[in-house]
Structure formats: C-alpha cells, structure tokens
Copies of this chain bind each other. A is one copy, B any other.
Amino acid sequence: MSIFTRPILEIDLNKLLDNYNYLKTIAPKAVAASVIKDDAYGLGAAEVAAVLHDKGNCKNFFVAYAKEGEKIYPYVKDSNIYVLQGMGEEETLIFNKLKLIPVINSLEQLEFWKKNKIEGVKPAVHIDTGLNRLGLREDEIKQLSKEDISSFSLVMSHLACADVNDHFMNHQQLDEFDRLKKTYFPLLKSSLAASDGIFLEEKFHCDMVRLGAAVYGINTAPYLKSNIKNIIEIKAPIIQIAELKAGDYAGYSATYKASSNRKIAIVSIGYGDGYPRNLSNIGKIFFKMNDHIEHANVIGRVSMDNIICDITNIENLKVGDISYIIDDHYNVDDMGADSQTIGYEILSRFGKNPRFYRKYIK
C-alpha cells in the first residue's frame, strides 16, 4: 500500500507546445505572440515561456505586470515582452532594467510614459473598440500628436464576444478597429485577436495574434471541434475510507445526510488547493480502473483540505489510490461549467497553489 497525502498537478509542456503550434496553423500569416500573464494562468510562467521560446520559436510575450515580465525575462531575453496593464510607478525600475514594452491604455499612462521614456522601447497603444474596458477611446486618440503615434510599435484592441462565432459584436469591433487604424495609425502593425478571435475569419488575425487560454487547453471556440488538447492532470490520493450508516451526516454544516448505508473516501484536495467550494454536493472525481473509468460524487461541503466522496458503487478502492480531479475526460472547461464559471478561472485558481506536488512533462 502506498500512503500519499498531497495532491498532484501535472503540466504537459509537450501538449502545450502542440496547442501553440496548432494555433499557428489557424493564423499562419500572423505573428503568434504568447500571453503568459497570471503566471501563465497559474501553470508557471518561466517554464511555459521557456518551452514556447526554445521549441516554439516564440519571440513575443504578453504579461500583465512588469513583475511578471521579470520572471520570464531570463528565458526569453531576445524577445519582446509587452506589459498589458501599462507602466506604473511601482514598476518603473523593472521596465527600465529589462526594457519591457508598456501597453499604453489611457492618456494618463501616455503622459507618464513620456516623462519616463526608456531608450529603444516603442510602446504598444491599446484602443477600445467596444469591450469598454482598457484602451483609448476615439476622442482620446484624436488628442495624440504625430510624434506620439510614430513612437508606437503596435496598435491593439480586444474583442468582447469572440467565443461566439456569430455574435454581432465581432464584426462591429473589427470594422471599428479597421476604421480607427486606417484613420489614425495607418503605418502601425496591428493586433486584435486572442485565443478566441483567432478562430473567427482570417481578417481578424491582423499582424499579430495573442495566444493564451487555448495554449493552456481551454476551449475558446466552443462552437466547433478544435484540436486543442487538455494539458493538465490534477490528482489527489484517498487518505481514508469509511462507512456512513443511513441517517449519518457528512461534512461541515451537515448538508449531506445518507439515505442508506454508504462507503466514502476522504480525498486530499480542497478549496485551499483551488477546488471550488461551490462544488459541495455537486462535484465528481474519477478513478481509472483497468478497462473503464468510475466516477464518485462529492458529498457534503468541500473543506479547505479535503473532499468527501461517495464510493459505494466502486469496488476494490483502497487508501493510497489516486483519484483524478482534472484530466482529458473532465477538463477545466467541464469543471468551469459545473461550478458556474469558466475554465480560465478554474485553471488560475488551481495553478497558483503551492501545496501541489508539481510535475512538468517535457
């Protein structure tokens, strides 16, 4: 018998690279930049950047903060590192030292940039085309000088609804982007599509696509069958097996009451590891048997370190056996749907937890 206690996160960097290479075939004419903000959605920005750079030949990376850029810099020294949230006072030193490229999101950020310019760095300019999040609006774009415009290296925008292929906003935003670009930035390279927009028509691709979520295995085009691969497995050991008698409660606040005698497994993962607490009495885990997969329902509340699962109908399980929490058969998108969110948030939550025994496959 094996006795383990910690949950395991396996990240398959080969599959990650497969996803990146596959996405490049969808937008073959565009430069394929990688988005590795949020520590590569929790999967480890350094490891991910290194493989995309060394094996994927990626030379353009997007992070949210300079501090994130600092983390990947040693692995991608000859590349452009764009910082999406722009340059703030608390990170100016890092920008300078590593020649990171700020994205200018507002006139205030432009003003700050002009006072703190970095020699040899040409910022990207972010314009809003309908998402109404970050980016200059047209009345602000009109205030840019010729010098401002010629100081930029890239004009970019962001689509709001690109995961729905026939959403009216997609073409509305594309038309607006084309119009603003032609009117104000005719000479700049441009970028509009992220992992979702890339699956729309070719005209969305522009000069550069920004590939994030789909590289990490998230299905960003649910309306078609894409070749995106799940790249992670999350596993957790059974650390105890016990019986419930009919009428027994299980878990905090006694939200589960056994209607008959049950066999339960206590599995070593909980919301402290990123397992969503709103999967209390809803979640399911999996066991890989010789020739088939069995599933067990989470019963009672998810607690910080453990979940309780009903294994009444699964034979031959013992303490030390490994359950699957996320795998090809139940991926982050599936868990996202069950917990009323999206795969992005699921991945971001699991990925950052230091308690996992973390393995990279490469």
Chain A residues in the interface with B (C-beta under 8 A): 1-6, 37-39, 41, 64-65, 67-68, 84-91, 105-106, 108-109, 111-112, 128, 130-135, 137, 160-161, 163-164, 167, 169, 237, 239-244, 248-254, 264, 266, 268, 271-272, 277-278, 300, 303-306, 308, 319-320, 340-342, 344-345, 348-349, 352-355, 357
A106 contact from B68, B240, B342, B352, Cβ within 8 A: B240
Give chain B nearest CB distance to A130 CB in angstroms.
7
Q: Are A244 and B132 in touch, CB under 8 angstroms?
A: yes
Cross-chain contact B239 with A109 (CB below 8 angstroms): yes
A354 and B352 contacting across the interface, CB-CB below 8 Å:
yes
Q: With A3-B88, A3-B112 known to touch, is A266 a contact of B133 (CB < 8 Å)?
A: yes
- Which residues of chain B come closer than 8 Å to A319, judged between CB atoms? 106, 108-109
CB distance A237 to B88 under 8 Å?
A: yes
User: When the two chains form their complex, are residues A355 and B272 in contact, meaning their CB atoms are under 8 A apart?
Assistant: no
B5/A354 in contact, CB under 8 A = no
Docked-complex contact B304 and A38, CB < 8 angstroms: yes
Q: Is the CB of B86 within 8 A of A132?
A: no
A64's nearest neighbour on chain B, judged by CB, is B305
A344→B301 CA distance, assembly (Å): 13
Our pick among B41, B105, B251 for the contact of A240 (Cβ within 8 Å) is B105
Question: Among B88, B134, B137, B345, which residue has its beta carbon within 8 angstroms of that of A6?
Answer: B88
In the assembled complex, the Cα of A352 lies from the Cα of B42 at a distance in Å of: 11
Closest B residue, CB atoms, query A159: B252
Residues of B within 8 A of A87 (CB): 3, 5
B305 touches A5 (CB 8 A): no
Do A278 and B4 form a contact, CB below 8 Å, given A250-B133, A254-B160?
A: no
Complex contact A5–B277 (CB within 8 A): no
Contact in complex: A355, B38 (CB < 8 Å): yes
Q: B355 contacts A6, CB within 8 Å? A: no
